[in-house]
Structure 1
Amino acid sequence: MSPTPQERRAARHQLGTGSSAPAARRGPSAGRKTPITVEAIISTAFGIVASEGYEALSMRRLATVLETGPSSLYAHVVNKEDLDELLIGRLCAGIDLPEPDPGSWRQQLISVCTQLRDQYLRYPGISQAAFAAAPSNPDTLRVGEGMLAILLAGGIDPQAAAWAIDSLSLYVNAYSLEVSLADRRVSRSDGSWVVSRDELLRRFAALPATFPQTKRYAAELTSGTVNDRFGFTIGLMIDGLPGSRPGR
């Protein structure tokens, strides 16, 4: 008897993400198209997200692009949540994890977060797949393991380090989603809705006296790029961790 999708998923968790035996196609395209494998599913899913955004990805849409029926996909993937796990795991597999260095642990942690951000931004909205997902994929766990090792090398208390990973990951996910949503709005409109920094400064300057701080610090409120703000927030979160060694 062939293994069930749940059994295939359990095997992937033990051995890492990889190709599984091809599933037989059904319907008029049977025997004439590339066999369905986990690799084909992942690659096609990334293609859909890259061109149409994460919201367009569904098991039905994936089956249509692969010219097969959903049942062929379920021979390899348990459900949409399992597919999400595979996609995030594949992105995490591309993260370069350094050997933890007590002398540069902050820079190392910022680098890992930045790499993860850049991976997410390659595929519009895909960081949604990481929200509320337990880290069980081996590739995803590898990143968590690396971040934990870096934090511990920096002298962070184990409990604080464990929660820091969750907090940093949540911020990276949210940041990436916001940037993807903003980029999508720009690309789908004529740009008239976009408010430039100069326009914001004019609007803030025209505010009534009930907004004294906004008027006074308009330049500060509108300064910096999105990446500047990302670096500032990640640094702020890291520097605020209890138990870190001064000067490291």
Structure 2
Amino acid sequence: MTREQWVAHLEQASSRGSGAPVAPVRSRRGREPITTERIVAAALDTVQETGFEDLTMRSVAAALDTGPASLYAHVRSKAELGDLLVGELCSRVHLPRPDADHWQEQFIALCAGLRDQFLAYPGVARAALAVVPADFGTLRVAEALLATLRTGGVQPRQAAWASDAAFLYICAYCLEAADGDQQRRDVSGTAIGAEEIATRLQMLPADTFPHTIELSRDLTAGDGHDRFAFTLDLIVRGLDH
């Protein structure tokens, strides 16, 4: 997106925020008109069923019973569609009023809320890494993360980098979860669980991998989102405030 396109995007977003109507593309044969909102909803349904990797403009068009050309009046590419999807999911995240007494808990809760939205749509976190965010939904979450850290007294540079690090970690965590099922299967398709991974690590040469063997159970330990909470706690408690 060029500087000029960015300015136009901001003007359009401001118009939407003020309630100005956005004209839909009228469909032939009396069908419901194609709108950006319908495109996003259909795309999210598709991602939830088949994953973001398999999402195409053609598959979204098929879900809307139209042709791909009908979508391009609203969305120019899969990258732009991905930005809209991430923005929609971010708009569903609860943004608390920053509280100096509870900023660490609020920051972690914000990250967990975004994590849960991404996990519900396999692979969509990849879209968050593909382009510079332009959707206001995404930018509002970023603003909330910064506001929470600054309210807690975190210094400007640390707040900026910590919020970025947290966002990157959320995306990586969700992508690993989306791809993990396939990665944790052997060539025959048999699932490789934590116990099996630990056993294989313990079979490594002891003189070369002593610490890996010693910590094999710890390397594969953790239930639910234990590791996520651990990492976010490390980030916030390592900040000067």
Q: Specify the TM-score bucket, using the shorter chain as the normaliser.
A: 0.7 to 0.9
Q: Residues 30-179 of structure 1: matches in 2 within 5 Å?
A: 30-179=28-177
Code of the aligned partner of 1:195? I
For residue 184 of structure 1, report the CA deviation from its aligned partner: 5.5
Give the alignment's TM-score, normalised by structure 2: 0.87
Query: Aligned residues: percent identity?
Result: 41
1:93 Cα deviation from its structure 2 partner: 0.6
Structure 2 counterpart of 1:146, which letter? A
The gaps in structure 1 that reach 5 residues or longer are none
Distance 1:21 1:167 in 2: 38
Letter in 1 for 2:13: H
Distance 1:201 1:186 in 2: 13
Match of 1:20 in 2: 22
1:203 aligns with one of 179, 200, 205? 200
Change (3 A) 1:186 1:197: closer
Aligned CA RMSD, in angstroms, stands at 2.6
What is the CA deviation profile of residues 54-87 of structure 1, one whole-angstrom value per residue up to 9, with x for unaligned ones?
0111112212222222221111123222211211
Conserved in 1, the CA contact under 8 Å of 2:184 and 2:192? no
Cα distance, 1:200–1:74 mapped onto 2, change above 3 Å: closer
Could you tell me which residue of structure 2 aligns to residue 181 of structure 1?
179
Conserved 8 A contact 2:16-2:22: no
Report the equivalent of 1:215: 213
The superposition leaves residues 71-122 of structure 1 with CA deviations (integer Å, 9 ceiling, x where unpaired) of 2111112322221121111111111111111111111000000000000011
Greater relative contact order structure (CA < 8 Å, 6+ sep):
1
Q: Contact 2:79 / 2:130 at 8 angstroms: preserved in 1?
A: no
Q: Is contact 1:125–1:177 with CA below 8 Å preserved after alignment? A: yes
Deviation by residue 1:217-239 (Cα, 9 ceiling, x = unmatched): 22212211251111111111222
Query: Residue 209 of structure 1: CA displacement?
Result: 1.9
Query: 1:36 & 1:22 partners in 2: Cα distance?
Result: 6
SS at match of 2:100: coil
In 2, the alpha carbon distance for the partners of 1:121 and 1:219 equals 26
The structure-2 alpha-carbon separation of the partners of 1:232 and 1:134, relative to structure 1 and needing over 3 Å to count, comes to same
Shift of 1:16: 4.6
Deviation at 1:176, TM superposition (A): 0.5
Cα distance between partner residues in 2 of 1:143 and 1:156? 18
Which contiguous aligned blocks of 4+ residues in structure 1 show a shift greater than 6 angstroms? 5-8
